[in-house]
Structure 1
Amino acid sequence: MADKSFLSWPFFEDHHREFALALDAWVQQHIAPLPHSHDVDADCAKILALLAEGGWLTSCVPAEFGGRSESLDVRSLCLIRETLGRVSGLADFVFAMQGLGSGAITIAGSEDLKRRYLPDVASGKKVAAFALTEPASGSDVANIATSAVDMGDHYLVNGEKTFISNGGIADFYCLFVRTGEAPGARGLSALVVDADTPGFEVAERIEVIAPHPLGRITFTNMRVPKENLIGKAGDGFKISMGTLDIFRSTVGAASLGFARRAMDEAIARAKGRELFGAPMADMPLVQAHIADMAVDIDASALLIYRAAWTKDVQKTRVTREAAMAKLYATEAAQKVIDQAVQIWGGLGVTSGITVETLYREIRALRIYEGASDVQKLVIARQTLAD
């Protein structure tokens, strides 16, 4: 079991500590033994079914709609992603997308939308997706071009999205579009779109270095009923940023899980291999690597659970805190994993070795839900404004 001493920190309540220990035991029994096939869609379906059966998806929705807590508990979301990330990057992805993909509905959806979608998210009956990125608007959300024209009782949607996680396997998408109430960010809205809607097409499946379902989707004269509008017209940017306020901290938590696993692997290697007649762990340079890993991991955890605690307890926007947590934890995890690969030497770059898998998995987390460079801009602007 990885280090659990952080659970004694004052960010957590007793129910979080019990939750984390029960989750760790369940993950070791049900997720750790899973073999990975070459069919990533099938692997995701299997993991989703296990998470649903274990009751862990209930953390993705409020209690009124089948959830574990009255509202989304960010500390629980982070604990789940850290624990899953330590064992399986794909399992972390499957869980994360159920929360992120339905988060806009939880935050701003009508009671009707919540009743129609959230219980099925919690039970695993519906796969969710968050459709924000376009070819010309990744970090620049205000540049979204996909249009939704108000036709009275429905919107007529045309455009495309790319690099959409769960693209191709999701049952519904929280789709961000331009409705044109005002220029730039103020003219965006959010819609729920079912995957079987006429005019919706999965145009391409995209392969990446750490395989997971990813796709480019297009919309051609797609009719979306007005009742599928999330919140009010023109609120799309605010809804997307509110969703990311919650889930950016959890990206940091997944990175933390990756980093903890990498340090465990590095320590096992250093203790188990002899160099120049002594254990590798006795070498000062190796000890320096381990020390750097330990500091980066604890610093990441402090930033992540500060942001999560602030959101849960103070009920305020945590744009700055969440950006700090994501930026530091993802960048630190990249360094920790790189150091683990170095300690493993030639084996560390061998396909299928745990540290090699982690090396591929961590890279995308420094990009999605706001690249590290963008997080620096967010932090700077918030700090200057304060």
Structure 2
Amino acid sequence: MPAFSLDPPQTAWCAELRTLAAERLRPLAEKAEPGHVNRPLVTELGQLGLLERLFTSGAVDLCLMRESLAYACTEAETALALQGLGAHPVHAYGTPAQRERWLARVAEGSAVAAFALSEPGAGSDAAALELRADREASRPGEAGGPGAPASSGDSPVASLAAEPDGPARWRLTGDKCWISNAPEADFYTVFARTTPGAGARGVTAFLVPADRPGLTGAGLDMLSPHPIGTLTFDAVPVTADDMLGEPDRGFRVAMGTLNLFRPSVGAFAVGMAQAALDATLAHTARRDAFGGKLKELQTVAHQVAEMALRTEAARLMVYAAATAYDEGAPDVPKRAAMAKLLATETAQYVVDKAVQLHGARALRRGHLLEHLYREVRAPRVYEGASEVQRGIIAKELYANLEAGQ
């Protein structure tokens, strides 16, 4: 794959995004109440046309947006990313009716989306989902209803074609946890088990509006500027019209979404690392210590060089993965996992070194690095922790070995 480099229009667009983030988005972020959806910020992202680009651009453009916004306003970056994460399954797998109802509202910032995959007992092991989608009992006279012959071999998703009086129906029962934008989103992409004991092969994706009866939620007090919460499904009704993709193939919907967004999580991390690096360059160039400037100390200069080296290496891997996604390369899962892993671990390293070189001032509330120090930790956990990414990489490597590639 050729080396990635930005062309002049991309460079200009990134500069424009940084300016917009600093001048129009950061003031809205600073006015927000932590732990709640910042709807004015989401609306502004829509008015700037950035949310619409979630559905019209490729992975490279998504990474450019996330890196540029993260550099100047991490809250804006996260708001944009969560809209994309929650709505991409609708864009990629939804029915025309689902797309018509929701995507325009997401693009304009009037509807907030959420991606509901994790559960109390199924975080990193997403194939262990337990939220049940129980098939509703058929009405008298219908197949499987009272008075109808019993079938001992039917799976819970058998006969998913439309029934005589309407589409197939289920009740969702169980809990979701660690869901960004919950419980304040307007709709959720929900992954539920339709076939017990089938692992990843028995999960179906549903689009569930927040006002469905039986759906409730609560916020969690987290180290996060955006809401993260739990969802409780008490026999929440859904039908085949709410399904995203095919029955029992919801894990493909989840992984397809994550393969797109994992490299862009890396771009978010690279944006934070670059902001920390630039702040460190400025600080060490002007700070007097030990009879000179900090930058004149070899140990400081070498640390700054290492920070720059790792940031650039992470950036190149992120955009290589995004380019592979846009070109439909066969090794996207491996590249996406590598990009997220390297970039998020790199950002943690760079921000930590930046704090160390700034000293106590970096830990003062309101300092850029105090903010980044809090923000940089979570990406190593969500959308697949670093350990999960290593597992994906190893699995792909051995699969290629067995295939003789």
> How far apart are the structure 1 equivalents of 2:207 and 2:37?
26
Once the two structures are TM-superposed, the CA of residue 211 in structure 1 deviates from its matched residue by 2.4
2:377 is paired with a residue of what secondary structure?
helix
Matches within 5 A, 1:139-218: 139-151=124-136, 153-180=168-195, 183-202=198-217, 204-218=218-232
Q: Which residue number corresponds to residue 320 of structure 1? A: 334
Q: Which residue number corresponds to residue 144 of structure 2? A: none
Once the two structures are TM-superposed, the CA of residue 182 in structure 1 deviates from its matched residue by 6.0
Q: Which residue number corresponds to residue 126 of structure 1? A: 111
Write the letter of the residue equivalent to 1:183.
Answer: A
Change in Cα spacing, 1:219 to 1:43, as seen in structure 2 (3 Å) is closer
In the TM superposition, what whole-angstrom CA distance separates every residue of 1:180-199 from its partner, at most 9, and x where no partner exists?
07611100000000001000
Out of 113-122 and 236-245, give the one that drifted further.
113-122
> How far apart are the structure 1 equivalents of 2:8 and 2:197?
47
Q: Is the 8 A contact 1:11 1:309 kept in 2?
A: no
TM-score normalised by structure 1 residue count: 0.91
In the TM superposition, what whole-angstrom CA distance separates every residue of 1:278-316 from its partner, at most 9, and x where no partner exists?
111111111011101100110001000000011112354
Change in Cα spacing, 1:169 to 1:334, as seen in structure 2 (3 Å) is same
Give unpaired runs (5+ residues) of structure 2: 139-167, 401-405
> How far apart are the structure 1 equivalents of 2:270 and 2:111?
28
> How far apart are the structure 2 equivalents of 1:309 and 1:53?
27
Out of 247-256 and 81-90, give the one that drifted further.
81-90
Q: Which residue number corresponds to residue 341 of structure 1? A: 355
Q: Which residue number corresponds to residue 377 of structure 2? A: 363
Alignment partner of 1:112 is 2:127: no
In the TM superposition, what whole-angstrom CA distance separates every residue of 1:133-155 from its partner, at most 9, and x where no partner exists?
00000010111000011226321
2:22 is paired with a residue of what secondary structure?
helix
Q: Which residue number corresponds to residue 49 of structure 2? A: 55
> How far apart are the structure 2 equivalents of 1:20 and 1:315?
26
Give unpaired runs (5+ residues) of structure 1: 1-7, 62-68
Change in Cα spacing, 1:95 to 1:16, as seen in structure 2 (3 Å) is same
In the TM superposition, what whole-angstrom CA distance separates every residue of 1:56-78 from its partner, at most 9, and x where no partner exists?
111112xxxxxxx3xx4111111
> How far apart are the structure 2 equivalents of 1:16 and 1:312?
16
Write the letter of the residue equivalent to 1:127.
Answer: V
Q: Is the 8 A contact 2:203 2:250 kept in 1?
A: yes
Alignment partner of 1:265 is 2:279: yes
> How far apart are the structure 2 equivalents of 1:42 and 1:133?
20
Structure whose alpha-carbon radius of gyration is higher: 2
> How far apart are the structure 2 equivalents of 1:97 and 1:32?
17
Q: Is the 8 A contact 1:200 1:217 kept in 2?
A: yes
Q: Which residue number corresponds to residue 161 of structure 2? A: none
> How far apart are the structure 2 equivalents of 1:148 and 1:384?
34
> How far apart are the structure 1 equivalents of 2:312 and 2:66?
16
Q: Which residue number corresponds to residue 391 of structure 2? A: 377
Q: Which residue number corresponds to residue 97 of structure 1? A: 82
Once the two structures are TM-superposed, the CA of residue 22 in structure 1 deviates from its matched residue by 2.9
Change in Cα spacing, 1:265 to 1:11, as seen in structure 2 (3 Å) is closer
Count of residues in correspondence between the two structures: 369
> How far apart are the structure 2 equivalents of 1:290 and 1:34?
32
Q: Which residue number corresponds to residue 39 of structure 1? A: 33
Q: Is the 8 A contact 1:245 1:317 kept in 2?
A: no
Q: Which residue number corresponds to residue 154 of structure 2? A: none
Q: Which residue number corresponds to residue 19 of structure 1? A: 13
Alignment partner of 1:304 is 2:318: yes
Change in Cα spacing, 1:55 to 1:281, as seen in structure 2 (3 Å) is same
> How far apart are the structure 2 equivalents of 1:14 and 1:313?
21
Once the two structures are TM-superposed, the CA of residue 14 in structure 1 deviates from its matched residue by 5.6
Write the letter of the residue equivalent to 1:216.
Answer: T
> How far apart are the structure 2 equivalents of 1:267 and 1:89?
20
Out of 177-186 and 361-370, give the one that drifted further.
177-186
Q: Is the 8 A contact 2:22 2:73 kept in 1?
A: no
> How far apart are the structure 2 equivalents of 1:125 and 1:184?
36
Out of 358-367 and 30-39, give the one that drifted further.
30-39
Root-mean-square deviation (CA), in Å?
A: 1.8
Out of 103-112 and 19-28, give the one that drifted further.
19-28
> How far apart are the structure 2 equivalents of 1:315 and 1:143?
28
TM-score normalised by structure 2 residue count: 0.87
Write the letter of the residue equivalent to 2:303.
Answer: H
Alignment partner of 1:77 is 2:76: no
> How far apart are the structure 2 equivalents of 1:329 and 1:294?
13
Once the two structures are TM-superposed, the CA of residue 43 in structure 1 deviates from its matched residue by 6.6
Matches within 5 A, 1:236-247: 236-247=250-261
Q: Is the 8 A contact 2:113 2:185 kept in 1?
A: yes
Out of 171-180 and 46-55, give the one that drifted further.
46-55
Question: Where is the helix percentage greater, Structure 1 or Structure 2?
Answer: 1
Alignment partner of 1:274 is 2:284: no
Once the two structures are TM-superposed, the CA of residue 385 in structure 1 deviates from its matched residue by 1.2
Q: Is the 8 A contact 1:181 1:233 kept in 2?
A: no
> How far apart are the structure 2 equivalents of 1:373 and 1:86?
26
> How far apart are the structure 2 equivalents of 1:163 and 1:42?
14
Change in Cα spacing, 1:43 to 1:217, as seen in structure 2 (3 Å) is closer
Out of 306-315 and 331-340, give the one that drifted further.
306-315
> How far apart are the structure 1 equivalents of 2:235 and 2:37?
33
Change in Cα spacing, 1:14 to 1:111, as seen in structure 2 (3 Å) is farther
